[in-house]
Amino acid sequence: MFLNSSYQKNEMILNALIALILTSTCAQPDTIDYWHVRYNGKLIKEYNANVYQKIIRFKSTQIKTNDIISVAYGNDTPCSSCETELILSDSKKRKHSLTKGKGTFKPLTFSLSDAQKTGGKVFDIYFHDAYNRTVYLFTIKIE
């Protein structure tokens, strides 16, 4: 009777371990996308996929022709050589390529005044990569 009880305990422990291993390999990773936004080299925003208010405001009177926005985007599947792109969507939902690069979390930069030239005062900025993922990053509002 004692041996049978010990055998049942070991069998229960083994079944629990197998269940734990199977559950952990099927679960989704808990990492999220993240990105940093710089304005003329100064960090102004840090975002991730859980942030819902993603609006950056600029006063039109303070924008200079050489003002630069830089975005470094990363996720749980980094890539050092894949093609990346920042896309601007204007108020009429037209898409404009702002800049292209290679690799995740390598800064992509664009001129704020060039973005203004597409027309309108509100722009949505997206990150696009070689895996055909397009991720909304933030909105620029020029007041």
Domain ranges of the chain: 34-142
Q: What is d(CA 136, CA 128) in angstroms, rounded to the nearest whole number?
A: 9
pLDDT recorded at residue 15? 67
Please state which of the ranges 14-28, 47-61, 75-89 shows the lowest mean pLDDT.
14-28
pLDDT at 88 over 90: yes
Distant-in-sequence contacts of 115-122, Cβ < 8 A, 24+ apart: 115/69, 115/88, 115/140, 116/60, 116/63, 116/142, 118/88, 118/90, 118/94, 119/90, 119/91, 119/92, 120/90, 120/91, 120/92, 121/60, 121/91, 122/90, 122/91
User: What letter would DSSP give residue 62?
Assistant: G
pLDDT band at 124 (very low <50, low <70, confident <90, very high): very high
User: What global pTM score does this model have?
Assistant: 0.76
pLDDT at 12: 73
Distances (CA, A) of 79 to 102, 121, 135: 8, 33, 16
What is the CATH T-level fold of the domain 34-142, as seen in this structure? Answer: Immunoglobulin-like (2.60.40)
> pLDDT tens-digit profile of 25-57?
444 445 688 999 999 999 999 998 888 889 999
Let me know: does 11 contact 39? Beta carbons within 8 Å.
no
Decide if 56 contacts 122 (C-beta within 8 A): no
